[in-house]
Amino acid sequence: MSERKINDTFLKACRGEETDYVPVWYMRQAGRSQPEYRAIKEKYSLFEITHQPELCAYVTRLPVEQYGVDAAILYKDIMTPLPAIGVDVEIKSGIGPVIGNPIRSLADVERLGEIDPEQDVPYVLDTIKLLTKEQLNVPLIGFTGAPFTLASYMIEGGPSRNYNKTKAFMYSEPKAWFKLMDKLAETSIAYVKAQIRAGAKAIQIFDSWVGALNVADYRYYIKPVMEKIFTELKTEKVPLIMFGVGASHLAKEWHDLPLDVVGLDWRLPIQEARSQGLTKTLQGNLDPAILLSSWEVIEERAREILNQGMDQGGYIFNLGHGVFPEVNPETLKKLTSFVHEYSSNAKVKA
pLDDT tens readout for residues 138-181: 999 999 999 999 999 999 999 999 999 999 999 999 999 999 99
Q: Which residue numbers belong to the known binding site?
A: 28-32, 47, 77, 153, 208, 321
| Sign of the torsion angle spanned by Cα atoms 196, 198, 199, 204 | negative
* Domain positions in the chain: 9-349
Give the integer Cα–Cα distance in Å for 218 and 197.
Answer: 31
Predicted pLDDT at 93: 80
Whether 282 contacts 248, CB under 8 Å: no
The answer to whether residue 3 scores a pLDDT higher than 70 is: no
CA angle 46/49/54 to nearest 5° reads: 155
- What's the start-to-end Cα distance of the chain, in Å? 41
Considering only CA atoms, which of 117, 105, 8, 10 is closest in space to residue 339? Answer: 10
What average pLDDT does the segment 316-341 reach?
97
- Predicted local confidence at residue 95, as pLDDT: 87
Q: What are the binding residues for substrate? A: 28-32, 47, 77, 153, 208, 321
Query: What is the Cα–Cα distance from 134 to 123, expressed in whole angstroms?
Result: 16
Helix axes 53-67, 122-130, angle to 10 degrees: 40
For residue 19, what are the CA distances in angstroms to 1, 9, 22, 55, 139? 29, 6, 7, 33, 15
User: SS3 for 298?
Assistant: helix
Mean of the pLDDT values across residues 177-197? Answer: 98
Q: Is 89 left (phi over 0), alpha (psi -120 to 50) or beta?
A: beta
Tell me the pLDDT tens digit for each residue of 106-135.
999 999 999 999 999 999 999 999 999 989
- Identify any residues that bridge with 291 across adjacent strands, giving them in sequence order: none
User: What pLDDT band is residue 329 in, cutting at 50, 70 and 90?
Assistant: very high
53: left (phi over 0), alpha (psi -120 to 50) or beta: alpha
20-63, pLDDT tens digit by residue? 999 999 999 988 889 999 999 999 998 899 999 999 999 999 99
Contact 35, 110 (CB under 8 A): no
Rounded distance between C-alpha atoms, residue 344 and residue 48, angstroms: 40
With cut-offs at 50, 70 and 90, classify the pLDDT of residue 91.
Answer: confident
Query: Hey, what CATH class is 9-349 in?
Result: alpha beta
Query: Does the pLDDT of residue 1 top 60, yes or no?
Result: no
Return the pLDDT at 348: 67
